Chains A and B, each alone.
Chain A
């Protein structure tokens, strides 16, 4: 059944007939030369003919599977170019300690730790949540290693407080993390210390967690595998054929490879290795970037990208803007996490190795600096001209719109606030009306000849790509929960291009995927409605995907439980 690894030597004999033929469809190809057809023939994962039924008839033999679409609408599969199923789902499978009481007393915390330790004798660390400080104070106790050592002296314990601002650890955890009186505080946090002796008390604040996380075993590969498996299942069931998992480490790649090898990686994945350790430690970053990443490579998986956070976000006003946040009142315009010089050298270095740089840029100052750095890297010798990616692109400066085309940079947008909602009137309003009016300027990038793509950015916003498709066309609230429109809509045809062909371009595979043309990969989805015949608002986001074909293989079948698809039925409920 799998065609993925059925690699054939160049000179082996091939069948002259199709493996799969779809007939009686209303197939939108995305190819301006032949936008619509009724029939498609697929051989060895690729489209070999299209047109009327008569155009594919000659490719049918006894082995060919012929499917009658019954007049249903079909189109190229979707591209979700920035998302994180692992971050949303791994905690669900990690089985860390969860005390599960709003304000546990120290006795309840102790009992929960002891019960967990007894139940998980093979777990090296006892890690979880949470304690609250006031119940300790109420009991006349001080949270910290001294207390925790009386509970668990020999196994390392790390417990977060409810606000996730403080981590309490015992002496064994400090020992394993190598934390002593001499350990310096990180810039974005501190170790609570005895005021006289300077000895760490076992309370670690904010950025100091990283010292403990670095000493803990990484999230186990089976946990990550289970998380990705759910994500992949959902995406295939919602018609996604290619995605970028932005932020991976060696364990995440192991998990993805494991899915790939068992036939459950039912979409193409470009995985971006984290450039920073701000989400999780990447222990083999430099080995991966130097070449170890190739061991994960298959027709569906590659790790030829890096991801990093260049600026912050709107809520803490850490997006880096070209003008101060507050008009003339203050000089604060946000901040960059790396120097522009670091960025230019890094882009050049990655580009020479064929590695894509995906930069988190929410403010117009961040994307401006990123484009400058790409321009600088392009001037230097030896680059391969990789298509780098500006992630989120929340606020773009008008004069930068054409630079996406000029510099071959993908403008990636995340759909979380494309439409009026409580979120936009609340958090996003921090940008102010003028900036909000040019937020998510997909139309501007497209009109300037650039390539725009979307990423669902789950868990920041839902993993469902159809919300993005609808709101690109309407810029209105799909559920009628907010009045009016927000920003500039684009046409349905443009929006489909953004989510298909443009995605393929941003992965560097536009010559072999992204539209339904002869010679291209048979990544086809069959829907329960014709997108061109429904009122977009309220109807596109609820589209059901009946069938998903990935490289000619049926991977999702919503209606027929007995088919040989990998996944059946409705998409799993993940949130």
Chain B
């Protein structure tokens, strides 16, 4: 395995209006078989359904669960609570923050991106849960807020699909799908963990490490490799313009100016994290895993576009001087 080293901790913010299903999603994560040690900061601790038998310890308001997850209430200065969490638990893999139903989750992610956290936290995704049956009521209750919430979503979970007909779902999509929106339809907020959390990239094999959840659709993936370096500007354009059937991309790249990057794409959020040096043990100089969901993405044309960004390795420099 590629060691995680001091890579910044990915952070997911879960947003959505009151009653949309955020807490259900949090419970799904806390009890889920994803193999990750997830720290969850919840807005309303009382609403979380933790099986007492799963709690292994309670220390300083931090509940440790037998599956490796930890959970605590969001109850103090947010910046300071993140600091405490980072100091207290070096072993966690991912942080999930549940926003209040009346908050814009983008504001929470703004704080995660403060420079004080620059090398320690990485904004992974804003996941916004929408009640397919109750969105109009949410807009009426807080004009501007529900729209802002979906406007800040990197991934949008259209939840409670069992409560409305296909026609209504399609009408919702027609009204509220933005050109770059990635939507997962769910009942009981059962979002596949493949979509929610990035898997690991191993030296020889790129694969999802998650057990598939019983949902309607399965994630599909494709891998792109190249030798030499890439034209980052061009690649950035390709990644920013990926079809919405691609939900995630992750990989490692070498730029022609000598810099090396880990790349993370979640829905609309694209980040390039500069690495101190190239990772060793990968089976190609540049590698990108693309994960699709729902309809199969046009992987062939995407891979061809990525090939267009590759700059094959220059011949070895001649020792003339």
Contacts and interface: CB of A to CB of B under 8 A. Distances in A.
B225 interface: no
Contacts of A196: 232-233, 236, 255, 272
B107 interface: yes
Interface residues of A, number: 37
A325 B84 CA distance: 14
Nearest to A191: B115
A195 interface: yes
A108 B272 CA distance: 33
A326 B73 CA distance: 11
B148 A163 contact: yes
A331 B115 contact: no
Given A195-B271, A196-B233, A325 B147 contact: no
B151 interface: yes
A334 interface: yes
A325 B75 CA distance: 9
A432 to B, nearest CB: 12
A87 B172 CA distance: 43
Interface string A222-265: 00000000000000000000000000000000000000000000
B107 A329 contact: no
B114 A330 contact: no
Contacts of B110: 165-166, 189-190, 205-206
A interface: dominant SS = loop
A132 B144 contact: yes
Contact of B104 (A138, A165, A326, A334): A165
Nearest to A164: B107
A451 to B, nearest CB: 32
B241 to A, nearest CB: 11
Interface in A182-228: 184-190, 195-197, 205-206
A430 to B, nearest CB: 9
A485 to B, nearest CB: 29
Nearest to B80: A332
B77 interface: yes
A326 B236 CA distance: 46
Given A133-B152, A140-B179, A185-B118, A330 B61 contact: yes
A186 B76 CA distance: 22
A433 to B, nearest CB: 16
A187 B60 CA distance: 27
A102 B104 contact: no
Interface in B260-302: 270-272
Interface string B144-186: 1001101110000000000000000000000000111000000
B60 A331 contact: yes
B42 to A, nearest CB: 14
Which of B81, B151, B232 neighbours the largest number of chain A CB atoms within 10 Å of its CB?
Answer: B151
Contacts of A205: 110, 113
Contacts of A190: 110, 113-115
Contacts of A330: 60-61, 75-76, 84
B148 A132 contact: yes
Nearest to A102: B144
B175 to A, nearest CB: 10
Contacts of A195: 236, 270-272
How big is chain B's contact interface, by range? 35 or more
Interface string A294-316: 00000000000000000010001
Contacts of B180: 137, 140
B116 interface: yes
B143 interface: yes
A335 B76 CA distance: 11
B106 interface: yes
A188 B148 contact: no
Contacts of A312: 77
B144 A332 contact: no
Contacts of B61: 326, 329-330
Contact of B151 (A137, A329, A332): A137
A317 interface: yes
Contacts of A138: 151, 178
A120 interface: no
Given A165-B110, A190-B114, A132 B147 contact: yes
Interface in A122-139: 132-135, 137-138
A162 interface: yes
Given A132-B148, A134-B151, A138-B178, A326 B118 contact: no
Interface string B35-72: 00000000000000000000000001100000000000
A335 B60 contact: no
A187 B272 contact: no
A103 B118 CA distance: 32
A494 interface: no
Given A140-B179, A317-B77, A330-B84, A162 B148 contact: yes
Contacts of B81: 332
- Give the top 4 A-B pairs by smallest Cβ distance, nearest first: A134-B151, A185-B115, A329-B61, A195-B272
Interface of B: 60-61, 75-78, 80-81, 84, 104, 106-107, 110-111, 113-116, 118, 143-144, 147-148, 150-152, 178-180, 232-233, 236, 255, 270-272
10 contacts: A102-B143, A134-B151, A134-B152, A188-B114, A189-B114, A196-B233, A196-B255, A326-B75, A329-B61, A331-B84
